Amino acid sequence: MILKKYITRKTESLDAYRALGGLTALQKAAGMGRKNIIDEIKKSQLRGRAGAGFPTGFKLEMAEQVQEPEKFVICNADEGEVGTFKDRELLKNCPYLVLEGMMIAGLAVGARQGYMYLRTEYSYLIDDIRRAIEEMEEEALSLGKCDFRLELFVGAGAYICGEETALIESIEQRRGEPRLKPPYPTNSGLFGKPTLIINVETLSNLPWIIVNGSEAFSSIGTEMSKGTKLFSVSGDVRRPGVYELPLGTSLRVLVIDKACANDVKAVQIGGASGRIVAGDDLERLLCFEDVLGAGGVVVFNSSRNMVEMMRENMAFFLHESCGKCIPCREGNYVINRLLSRICDGDGSEGDVTMIREIAASMGDSSLCGLGISAPTGLLDTLQLFEPEFREAISAGV
């Protein structure tokens, strides 16, 4: 496995990290040159681990090709997706790995300044991360070719700041709201400069790829989903936690064999905005070709009412919508009203029809991924558990 040793025990110091093989990748990358680093990442076929799955090598290439002397690398550590806590384990147990990935990314694109944007709920990690930053900066300077400065920025608890342009707005001391795209951050991002934004888990894969090679990485997984993935499993399971599995592993292995669930009615994959899979469909594959998301997996047993679960989900999105665009702001509000009416026994079949129409409108016209993906689990639930909605309409929940 690629990341397991970094999440199962705490790496107390830079020397301890070095004993695990740390810094070997940074030393190697410092002598490779930008093009060779990027080519290696492109050949590995690594895709972003935050949900969207954009090819990491191409993102590096886009940032590198912009002719601008000042560039930035941002580590998106604003892990706000419901049920997702895998990045927390990497940051808690081995921040050195994440920082080494940031420095390799900086070498690849020609950036000398990096920011780690940390969600405020993880503020108890600040002292450890700052100490790791100081140690890693000194180590980078000793290499000669890697003069890279790092800064820790703590967010204010807004889910929307996980979206890359809202995150940039936050660092620039403005309200976290998504920007219109284009321009994309790789062309004009933080302070108007080319900016590479990559999440914690994706960055943590870069050192392994540089040391072991792209072929070794791409030999793991499926045709379109290479490498391993960290999954945060919670809900109605006996062994909640973070598990690393090769991409393409069945959902059954994760939920039944690893997390020891013995009663599975449904599984939500990818956090509150993720897909819903029925408990009798656990042969689905955890990969970009099938179901994946950011890696948050929540299991519901037969005692859970799925209509109520979706009302809780949508209440979360109503609270976290930044309100900048009408489809998301008004769509989440109306869907919440309709779900409350259904759960209270005052709903109708027309309410269900309206939910579907509003969800389609949100997907077509919302400014960012929050509005586009918010109704995803709800629409799946409407399809898979339609009898529960009918029961709620007729009798209330």
Shared domain for 24 and 129, answered yes or no, is yes
Domain boundary among 254, 280, 300: 300
Cα–chain center distance at 359:
22
Q: How far apart are CA 57 and CA 35, in angstroms?
A: 11
- CATH of residue 318's domain is 1.20.1440.230
Shared domain for 44 and 106, answered yes or no, is yes
CA quadruple 32, 33, 39, 40: dihedral sign: positive
- CATH of residue 185's domain is 3.40.50.11540
Residue 336 lies in a domain: yes
Instruction: Give backbone dihedrals phi and psi of 244, rounded to 5 degrees, phi first.
Output: -105, 130
Shared domain for 325 and 200, answered yes or no, is no
Shared domain for 41 and 170, answered yes or no, is yes
Shared domain for 53 and 22, answered yes or no, is yes
Q: What is the DSSP string of 271-315?
A: STTSEEEETT-TT-BBSTTSB-TTSEEEEE-TT--HHHHHHHHHH
Shared domain for 158 and 128, answered yes or no, is yes
pLDDT in tens, the chain (397 residues): 999 999 999 999 999 999 999 999 999 999 999 999 999 999 999 999 988 899 999 999 999 999 999 999 999 999 999 999 999 999 999 999 999 999 999 999 999 999 999 999 999 999 999 999 999 998 888 776 678 999 999 999 999 999 999 999 999 999 999 999 999 999 999 999 999 999 999 999 999 999 999 999 999 999 999 999 999 999 999 999 999 999 999 999 999 999 999 999 999 999 899 999 999 999 999 999 999 989 999 999 999 999 999 999 999 999 999 999 999 999 999 999 999 999 998 889 999 999 999 999 999 999 999 999 999 999 999 999 999 999 998 875 4
Closest CA to 169 of 155, 187, 150, 152: 155
Residue 223 lies in a domain: no
Q: How far apart are CA 286 and CA 247, in angstroms?
A: 6
Question: Domain range spanning residue 355?
Answer: 306-395
Residues in Cβ contact with 39 at an 8 Å cutoff, skipping those fewer than 6 apart: 57
Structural tokens at position 168? 């940039």
Closest CA to 106 of 191, 198, 39: 198
Question: What is the total count of domains within the chain?
Answer: 3
- CATH of residue 257's domain is 3.10.20.600
Side-chain-side CA neighbours of residue 241 (13 Å) = 12
Domain boundary among 179, 197, 218: 218
Shared domain for 250 and 128, answered yes or no, is no
Shared domain for 24 and 100, answered yes or no, is yes
One-letter amino acid identity for 205? N
Shared domain for 316 and 182, answered yes or no, is no
The residue written with tokens 């993720």 in the block is 274
Closest CA to 231 of 298, 301, 161, 278: 298
Residue 127 lies in a domain: yes
Shared domain for 284 and 333, answered yes or no, is no
Cα–chain center distance at 56:
14
Shared domain for 285 and 325, answered yes or no, is no
Which of helix, strand or coil describes residue 242? strand
Domain boundary among 197, 218, 239: 218
Shared domain for 25 and 133, answered yes or no, is yes
Predicted TM-score of the model (pTM) = 0.95
Cα 134 to Cα 3, 131, 145, 221, 317, distances in angstroms: 23, 5, 17, 36, 37
